Structure 1
Amino acid sequence: MKHVPPPLDTYYRGITVHADRAVVWRWLCQMRVAPYSYDWIDNYGRRSPRTLTPGADDLEIGQPILVIFQVVGFERDHHITVQIKPGLRWFWGNTCCTFRVADSADGDGCRLLMIMTVHDRPGRLARATGLYQVRKYFFPWAEFVMVHKQFRTFKMLAEKTARENPSKEAGNAGVIPPG
């Protein structure tokens, strides 16, 4: 991965979603608004919105996303790549995630995929305090649980959007206008 130097660990996640790729990608853009996993843990107890936020899909390089990440690459209806903000890498490592939406092999919906790459060389502070060992053990398990919940939530919301708005333009389906 071009954003993360070796040595690295790589984790993969995926789920089938019975909705158009544009609808699923649009829900992924909602990560700019909220995390969509366990809100009581990573959204300060606030529920992630169940409607699409206007403008959330207006992505730009460097934008904050998922609290501790920033956008480093994207292609509309295909992928969003995010990386841990530089000031947080001392603990989280140089972590980069690509959330990809791909056509399903059977033509029924699409696949939502995540590839997470973690640079596995701790900073001095993490080594000196022992925090690296905690992160090294805890991170893969926490990531598995949180992304699993996030993907199930996106699946449910995208499939609901597809059912309720079949005739609307996919990328704008379910958007509540401001005001």
Structure 2
Amino acid sequence: MIGDRWGVTAAELGRTYPCDEFVTAPVLQAWRGVDVAAPPSRVWPWVAQIRLAPYSYDWIDNLGRRSPRELRGLPEPVVGDPFTATAGRPLGRVLSVTPGEQLTARIMGAVMSYVVVPDGDGARLLLKLVMGGRRGAAPFLSVGDLVMARRQLLNLKRLAES
């Protein structure tokens, strides 16, 4: 199994994430995390808004279209909703959601959980990605995910803090 992490503590690595229920024998596990100087109530709407756009490198993930920089007042996500969109085209599926706390979805063979954790006056935004299946693709997905997920979390952090 391949595992990597960026910005997470040992305790965050050891916790159980909702994605773990959907992939019981992962060939890849990747953890990402950022501190956000905003309360969870300001972070969560941005996580829920991933349904509109990827919020990473728009010129790659969104075919050059800019991810919205203002909240659109979306209803809470529900199981079965599209997970995200690229250039307006829905991708993936929401598998599990606890409003205000976690959003778990499947996209392109991977399952990812976004978890918002209170941390003092701010929050921690954590992301865990797991993938089952063939081991050969895991190293490439891990490197790509590190770059794209890092940008996504930093963009969501910046938006929640503004």
Q: 1:101 aligns with which of 85, 93, 116?
A: 116
Cα deviation, residue 39, structure 1: 0.3
Write out per-residue CA displacement over residues 18-61 of structure 1, whole angstroms, 9 at most, x where no aligned residue: 11101101100111110000000011110001000122x42111
Q: Give the secondary-structure state (helix, strand or coil) at the position aligned to 2:59.
A: helix
Q: Give the secondary-structure state (helix, strand or coil) at the position aligned to 2:155.
A: helix
Q: Quick one: distance in 2 between partners of 1:54 and 1:21?
A: 16
Q: 2:149 aligns with which of 112, 127, 147?
A: 147
Are the counterparts in 1 of residues 30 and 129 from structure 2 also a CA contact under 8 Å?
yes
Cα deviation, residue 155, structure 1: 0.7
Cα deviation, residue 7, structure 1: 4.1
Q: Quick one: distance in 2 between partners of 1:27 and 1:6?
A: 30
Query: Which structure is higher in strand share?
Result: 2
Q: Quick one: distance in 2 between partners of 1:110 and 1:137?
A: 30
CA RMSD of aligned residues (A): 1.5
- 2:77 corresponds to which residue? 59
Q: Quick one: distance in 2 between partners of 1:7 and 1:77?
A: 27
Q: Quick one: distance in 2 between partners of 1:50 and 1:7?
A: 34
- 2:36 corresponds to which residue? 17
Q: Normalized against structure 1, the TM-score is what?
A: 0.72
- 2:67 corresponds to which residue? 48
Cα deviation, residue 73, structure 1: 0.6
Are the counterparts in 1 of residues 26 and 130 from structure 2 also a CA contact under 8 Å?
no
- 1:78 corresponds to which residue? 101
Q: Do residues 113 (structure 1) and 123 (structure 2) align?
A: no
Q: Which has the larger radius of gyration?
A: 1
Q: Give the secondary-structure state (helix, strand or coil) at the position aligned to 1:97.
A: strand
> Structure 1 103/143 Cα, relative in aligned 2: closer, same or farther at 3 Å?
same
Write out per-residue CA displacement over residues 112-168 of structure 1, whole angstroms, 9 at most, x where no aligned residue: 00111111x23xxxxxxxxx73x33311011000010001101110000xxxxxxxx
Write out per-residue CA displacement over residues 34-91 of structure 1, whole angstroms, 9 at most, x where no aligned residue: 0000000011110001000122x4211111112432101111111101112xxxxxxx
- 1:176 corresponds to which residue? none
Q: Normalized against structure 2, the TM-score is what?
A: 0.80
Query: Which structure is higher in helix share?
Result: 1
Tell me how many residue pairs correspond in the alignment. Answer: 138
Q: Quick one: distance in 1 between partners of 2:139 and 2:130?
A: 15
Q: Which consecutive residues of structure 1, in runs of 5 or more, have no partner in the other structure?
A: 85-91, 123-131, 161-179
Identity of aligned residues (%): 36
